[in-house]
Each structure stands twice: as C-alpha cells, then as structure tokens.
Amino acid sequence: MIDPAQAGLRESATFDRATIAAIQRAAETGVYDIRGWGAKRAVPHFDDLLLLGASMSRYPLEGYRERCDTDVVLGDRHASNPLHLDIPITIAGMSFGALSAQAKEALGRGATEVGTSTTTGDGGMTPEERGQSKHLVYQYLPSRYGMNPDDLRAADAIEVVLGQGAKPGGGGMLLGQKISERVAGMRTLPAGIDQRSACRHPDWTGPDDLTIKILELREITDWQKPIYVKVGATRTYYDVKLAVAAGADVVVVDGMQGGTAATQEVFIEHVGIPTLAAIPQAVQALDELGLHRKVQLIVSGGIRTGADVAKAMALGADAVAIGTAALIALGDNHPRYADEYAAIGSAPGFYDDFQDGRDPAGITTQDPELAARLDPVEGGRRVANYLRVLTLEAQTLARACGKAHLRNLEPEDLVALTIEAAAMARVPLAGTSWIPGQGF
C-alpha cells in the first residue's frame, strides 16, 4: 500500500476519510451511526482561555501556606436541606444500564471520599450507588424508568432533566445488548429490546407546567430537597431564565462536549453549543434576575483539568460536573486494553462504542464477566485521586490569581487566545481590551 502523502495524493477536506467511511457504512447498513462519548469535533473551549496570574497589580497567595477554600453549598434557595460539598466538582448523571453496577458504585465511592456528589441516571437508583454515595442526586427524567417516590425521598437532591449537551432535544436510547434482566426489570421493559426514552416529560409541557411539577416534587419531599433543572446548552439564556422562574434551586448547563452512552453521531456533532458559549449566557440570565450565586450554576461538558474547573468558575459557575473524564479515570480507553479494543474495531483513545456493551474496561457494559473486571473499591480510589488532582490544580491557579476561595475567581481573571473564544466567553482577547460584540 502506498503512502498517500509520499505519492502526492490529495485528500478532500469536504469528503475526508472519516466522511467517506460514514457514507459507505450508511450505504451498507441502512442505519445511522449510534455511539457514545460527546462531540469530537474541535470547538472553542477552555484551552482557548488563559488566566491572568497576579504580579504587581494583584497579590498572589502562597501556594502551600495560604488557604484556598473549595466548598460549595448547592440548593439553599428553597430547600431546607441544601447540599454542602467539600469541592465544587461533582459527578454528572449516568445511568445504571449505560454503566455497570460496579462503575456506578465506584463513582459513588470516589465522590464520597472527597466529599462531593454523584448522580443517578435514566433507569432509577441502585442500592449500590445509594449505599456508597454520601451525596446522591436523583435524576427525574422524561422516561421515568425506575421512578420510585421512595428513591426520591432517599435522594439528597432532585435533578429534573430537560436535556443533555450531547443531544439537546433528544431522548435516550439503550440498545438491546445492554438491556440485561436486571436493567429490564428496573425499567419495566422486555429484556433485549432497543429501548427508546422519551424526549419530553409525559405530564408537563413548557415552563408554566414545570413550575407546578417542581411544586409537586417539593410537596412530595416536604420542601427538603434541592431541585436542580438540567438543560442541554442551546438557547441557554432563555432556558436558564425559564428554569429559574419555574423555581429551580440549581441550574445545570451541559455543553455539546458533554457525553452520552448512546446517541446518533449526527445528533452529537450537530446540535447544541459549546460549553464555553453557554456559561456567559447562563450567568447573564442569573445576573439579570438578581440570582447569580443564589441559584447555583453547575456547568458540564468537557471538564478535564483543574484549569477547566478554574476557568468555568471564573466565568461564573458555582460548580462543575464531570462524566467522560470520570469514566477515563476509572480506566476507560486505557492502553492496557489495546488488543481488546482492536478486536472490536477500536483503539485506546478512540473507543466510543459505549452503546454496544462490549467495553473491555467493564464500565459501559452489562456483561457480567466484563463488568467484574472493574473493582469498585479500586475504581473509587482512582476517581477520588482524580478529583483531588482537579481540585489541587484549580486551587493552584486560583491562588496565583490571588483568590482565597475558588468561587472568588472572576471573568476579570481571564483573557482569550482567539477571537471566537473571546466572543463566546465574553472576555478580552489577550493583550487587548477587545471583547467581540461589545465594541472597542
């Protein structure tokens, strides 16, 4: 086989090899591509922002001597029992079904070890995750699979899910390979079918109805639990305003880089906006309502490092949530599985077929033998380690900016490397005072 570059062959930018492969796959199978993960295309992101460390005009804090606190209270607007977390990095909603019971337990163990929350997903609450999670957020989804008022009362917060960044406007799916007897039983479905989740809630439509739905959830739980509303990032300014007007204590905004266990490729890559573009819209909405920092904002979608955490918080988030990164911490896409990835047509760094249940790392599977590969205790240790590193990194950067608490980071601490990022994040292009869209 010749080397195309050496031979002077030219690849089409429009019809590149991935596009050609996708067309040929579609022609062969007649079915659209379904995969996991989030958007893989390059979009403006936190890497396009830089923090301005202190020098003459600002005092930094001593890295190993002066405190930089990290705690956050979520949901104290109406709930009598808000969440008090030690770090502002939470685990995003991921279902038992999409993930193995061992993975869910490991996430709970890791989160609990460092004093943060984890979240259920479509399909209900498992005893494993409730048992191992000090702070557990219960997702209230359109499908209501496994929805049980006893679990609602056992949760520490309730997250009304309107959408997620990977597929705003789309319902969930879980293919038959992962509908084991236990998963089917929890969801009241026949085992082995391709499960389709609804994209709209079955008993309310629009923000006025949501107001009443939130009232009902508060009444059922005696006004104890914080109520979150989660939206996929699209018309974020309006969605946040409406969610807050409906009574949300916390708004969760998930950008298009946010992950999924199974969604159409075309949906993942072409619907929604980048996390970077969504945060300023959400903060503007909260500011205009006079509720920024009173209704907390959790941001997710592409959080990988403490730098991402610090930048999201500087833009106005009260906390962040991680999903894909937490799975990677558990061992997803690890090179030790290279041969097994190759056997199913993938490779470390590329594996995204979470939908087919053959995950060599035992995370996105319901196969008992594969799932048994993941030790929940060891997995929990890895997740806790990773969360500690994120926190330490964010603290390092915050101290450099002279902040004694992560929440004190502010947009003034940021500049952008590109015009696109400057426009989306609404911070100046580095070395200038220019924020595109806001004049010179």
Partner 1 sequence: MVALNGSSVQELMKVDLASTSVRELNAELHAPTARRYEVHNPRGAEAIAVGLRHAIEVEIHGPAGYYCAGMNMLADVVVHGSVGTGVAENMMSGSVRVRGDASQSAGATGHGGLLVVEGSASMRCGISMKGIDIVVGGDVGPMSAFMAQAGRLVVCGDAGDGLGDSIYEARLYVRGRVGSPGADCVEKEMRDEHVAELGQLLADAGLPHDPGEFRRFGSARRLYHFAAHNSAAY
Q: Read off the DSSP letter of residue 178.
A: G
- Binding flag, residue 203, partner 1 (CB under 8 A): yes
226 contacts 250 by C-beta, under 8 angstroms: yes
Tell me the DSSP string of 296-321.
Answer: EEEEESS--SHHHHHHHHHTT-SEEE
Contact string 162-181 vs partner 1 (x = CB under 8 A): -------------xx-----
CB nearer partner 1, residue 85 or residue 248:
248
Positive or negative, the Cα torsion across 427, 312, 217, 124?
Answer: positive
The contact mask relative to partner 1 for 97-136 (x = CB under 8 A, - = no) is: ----------------------------------------
Closest to 117 in 3D by CA, of 153, 161, 72: 72
Residue 58 binds partner 1 (CB under 8 A): no
Judging by DSSP bridges, how do beta strands 195-196 and 173-174 pair with one another?
A: antiparallel
CB 241 within 8 A of CB 152: no
Q: What is the spatial distance between Cα 380 and Cα 358, in angstroms, rounded to a whole number? A: 22
Q: Which of 265, 250, 232 is nearest to 117 (CA)?
A: 250
Told to check if 190 binds partner 1 by CB under 8 A, we report: yes
Closer Cβ to partner 1, 126 or 275, answer by number: 126
Which secondary-structure segment (H or E) carries 158? Answer: strand 157-161
Chosen residue from 22, 223, 237, 417 binding partner 1 by CB under 8 A: 223
369: contact with partner 1 by CB under 8 A: no
228, 244 in Cβ contact below 8 A?
A: no
Which of 187, 382 has the CB closer to partner 1?
187
Q: In the structure encoding, which two tokens stand for residue 150, read together?
A: 């006893």
Take residue 226 and report the two structure tokens written for it: 């914080």
Q: How far is the CB of 149 from partner 1 (least distance, A)?
A: 4
User: How far from the centroid of its chain's Cα atoms is residue 160's Cα?
Assistant: 15
Pairing of strands 414-416, 49-51: antiparallel
* Given 221, 257, 263, 346, the residue binding partner 1 (CB under 8 A): 221
| Choice between 32 and 350, CB closer to partner 1 | 32
How near is the Cβ of 223 to partner 1 at its closest, in Å?
7
52 CB-contact burial (10 Å; exposed 0-12 / middle 13-18 / buried 19+): middle
Look up residue 239 and give its two tokens: 């969605």
Q: Which is nearer to partner 1, 153 or 373 (CB)?
A: 153
147 contributes a contact to partner 1 by CB under 8 A: yes
**From candidates 19, 80, 148, 438, binder to partner 1 by CB under 8 A:** 148
Residue 25 within binding range of partner 1, rule CB under 8 A: no
Question: What is the nearest approach in angstroms of partner 1 to the Cβ of residue 214?
Answer: 10
Query: Interacting stretch for partner 1, rule CB under 8 A, among 59-67, 112-120, 206-214, 267-275?
Result: 206-214
Which residue number, 198 or 404, has a Cβ lying nearer to partner 1? 198
Binding positions for partner 1, rule: CB under 8 A: 29-31, 34, 143-144, 147-150, 152-153, 175-176, 187-190, 193-194, 196, 198, 202-204, 209, 212-213, 215-216, 219-223
